[in-house]
Amino acid sequence: MIESLNKAFCALPGVGSKTAQRFIYHLLERNRNGGFELAKALVDAMEHVQHCHSCRTLSEKDICNICANTTRDNSQLCIVETPTDIHAIEQSGVYRGKYFVLSGYLSPIDGIGANELGLDELEQKLADDHISEIILATNATVEGEVTAHYISNMAKQFNVQITRIAHGIPIGGELEYTDINTIAHALSGRKNYT
């Protein structure tokens, strides 16, 4: 039983056998009530959390709170790789549009193509929803850039403004400790200083 629990914890990203073992022994020796709460919360989430029918993020309802919010700007669509990206953007408090979650990035080597990312749904959304701007917020990785380029090419037929989130030096960062690719992105994406 402990071995199967260890395998279950190891299914989580970044959790190896030793970390799983620490979790298990902590719950069994010191926090059985916490273990029961964790088990109940996991079962509830697995049974009730689904993908939003509009943006594809995770939600307990058919339409998530962001998509259901009538004060959001329906003409802006921010395209992200994961639901956690939405959480990060929402914490900034700056963006007031809607989202579309790819749940990954294009990776032909791994068998992830346009169909797996729901790009047919995105194309239909661009055709039907009167979107004036899409914001490509995929990660600054090779796969993220390829995905952004693919979506950009697809979206050109819909006469929408296509923008890309800026990549560069983080606030508080120092140039001498920044990698050359980040510096190159920061220089090429520079804007007027007022």
Specify the residue for token string 């039907």: 128
Distances (CA, A) of 169 to 4, 95, 144, 148, 179: 44, 20, 18, 21, 9
> What gap in Å lies between CA 33 and CA 48, rounded to an integer?
22
SS3 (DSSP) at 40:
helix
pLDDT in tens, 24-43: 999 999 999 999 999 999 99
> What gap in Å lies between CA 86 and CA 129, rounded to an integer?
20
> Does the pLDDT of residue 96 top 80, yes or no?
yes
Element (H, E) at 78: strand 73-80
Which of these, 107, 194, 179, lies nearest to 150 by C-alpha position? 107
Specify the residue for token string 């001498």: 176
Q: Kind of pairing, strands 133-136 and 73-80?
A: parallel
State the pLDDT confidence band at 157, using cuts at 50, 70 and 90: very high
State the pLDDT confidence band at 194, using cuts at 50, 70 and 90: low
pLDDT in tens, 104-155: 999 988 889 888 999 999 999 999 989 999 999 999 888 999 999 999 999 9
Written as six digits, the tokens of 193 are 């200083």
SS3 (DSSP) at 154:
helix
pLDDT in tens, 62-73: 999 999 999 999
> What gap in Å lies between CA 50 and CA 60, rounded to an integer?
6
HSE-CB at 100 with a 13 A cutoff on CA atoms is: 26
> What gap in Å lies between CA 42 and CA 36, rounded to an integer?
10
Which domains, from first to last, does the chain contain?
2-48 (1.10.8.420), 61-164 (3.40.1360.10)
